[in-house]
A = this chain, B = another copy of it.
Amino acid sequence: MLRPMPPTDSLFLLAETREQPMHVGSLQLYVPPDGATALDVRAMFESAMQEDHVAPLFQRRPKRSVTTLGQWAWETDAHFDLEHHVRRSALPQPGRVLELLALGSRLHSTLLDRKRPLWEMHLIEGLEDGRYAAYFKVHHSLVDGVSALRLLNRMMSPDPNERDMPPPWAMPPRRRKQRDGASNPLADGAREAVHLLGDVAGLGPALARTLSRAMREQTAPISLSAPKSMFNVPITGARRFAAQSWPMERIRRIGKASDSTVNDVVLAMCAGALRSYLLGMDALPDAPLIAMVPVSLHGEDAGSGDGGNAVGTVMCNLATHLPHAAERLAAINRSMADGKEALKSMTPTQILLMSAIGMTPLAVLPLLGLTGSVRPPFNLVISNVPGPREPLYWNGARLDGLYPLSIPMEGQALNITCTSYSNEIAFGLTGCRRTVPHLQRLLGFLDDELVALEDGAGI
């Protein structure tokens, strides 16, 4: 049986190329339960595979044929093969996080098989520290990045003694009632906007025209002039991924001392790190970099996990031309406040249009012809996705880290996605391997910048 595919979902299939795979991913680290080993965690996943229960969404594959009038639709895969989707891998010695990130980079570089449901889960053993890892990969046409993280959160429990918990592929991803209590206005808002648009505007080309017009008209009040940068060039298919976590408390303290939000401080860390990285490559533009930042309009802070339903996208001036960390933070705080003020003056429908663009921006841009301009509309996307606040467990294995992998695109070679979990915030940097060399240096620069911001705030 064929089900129609919402047009915004099919855009991710249409925009996908060899150089621009359209899947999101996440890397998870698990600490085995007391008395158990990493291989016991593997055995738990393998035992879950025997159950053979798979949520309908994860049994769906895309199909386009004469009978669908050339449009993409979903159909249930009659020959679903769980072993194709759940795979066992191992790290080469010495099995440090370095080897894990290298494997994650490679797994994130390859295209999903379109003849099958568009997801894979890789179970990864061989970490020297005794932890177990998993990489989960899902096509953006099936689940967006925020929903994918949510899905993983939902399969967890705050109770270390809970057992008989299903694996991620058995979880229906869009269930509204959440086990962990974290809400995700961004995802909900974008889904709704997308469906609204789908209803109103019909299929692909018409939708693209609508979004294009909305983009030009609505973003005018808050759009800034982005300089050319090394990130805004054609990309290749291989990826490099780097990730690290920092204590949320350090970021909160800087925010309090400088009257900024957590999200402002996260952006300032990125801004300073990008400045150092670009200086080192002798590639810092004179004008400040502009980041596209999805934000929540209600609630204090998009990074805190609170917020209502209204979401939007702000173009943030990262002030990378300023030499001092505290100055950059102040400029970012002003830019974000201005952007949010401008968003507040929009009608709900305008905001929904914006949010649709904000959540699905880069897949849509090529189709809108917006990438051909000399200047990029922005230099990179920095998302900060709120995650669960308390430690979570899967059948007794503690989730020790959760790192998002996102989608670099033609003209947007670097993506930064942050996600909070428990008392930490994880930065996931996904870049084109060729266009963004030495990506891992950014981790050191993020750390330097956090210290500089603490100094600047007198901490």
A residues in contact (CB < 8 Å) with B: 18-19, 39, 42, 79, 81, 84, 87-93, 99, 102-103, 106, 109-111, 113-116, 123, 125-126, 236-238, 433-434
Contacts and interface: CB of A to CB of B under 8 A. Distances in A.
B238 A116 contact: yes
A90 B87 CA distance: 13
A237 B92 contact: no
15 contacts: A18-B113, A19-B115, A79-B434, A81-B433, A88-B92, A88-B102, A89-B92, A90-B91, A90-B92, A90-B93, A90-B126, A93-B125, A114-B237, A115-B237, A126-B126
Nearest to A92: B88
Contacts of A110: 110-111
A315 B249 CA distance: 73
Q: Is the interface of A mostly helix, strand, loop or mixed?
A: loop
Contacts of A125: 92-93
A110 B18 CA distance: 11
Contacts of A93: 39, 90, 125
A114 B84 contact: no
Nearest to A234: B115
Given A79-B434, A238-B84, A238-B116, A18 B90 contact: no
Contacts of A19: 114-115
Given A39-B93, A115-B237, 14 more contacts: A18-B111, A18-B114, A19-B115, A42-B92, A88-B92, A88-B99, A89-B89, A90-B93, A92-B125, A93-B125, A113-B236, A113-B237, A113-B238, A116-B236
Please state the number of chain copies in the assembly.
2
Contacts of A109: 113
Nearest to A110: B110
A276 to B, nearest CB: 22
Contacts of A236: 113, 115-116
A272 to B, nearest CB: 27
A109 B110 CA distance: 9
Nearest to A61: B236
Contacts of A116: 236, 238, 434
A237 B19 CA distance: 17
Nearest to A89: B92
Nearest to A103: B89
Closest 3 CB pairs of A and B: A115-B236, A90-B90, A88-B92
A301 to B, nearest CB: 39
A238 B90 CA distance: 20
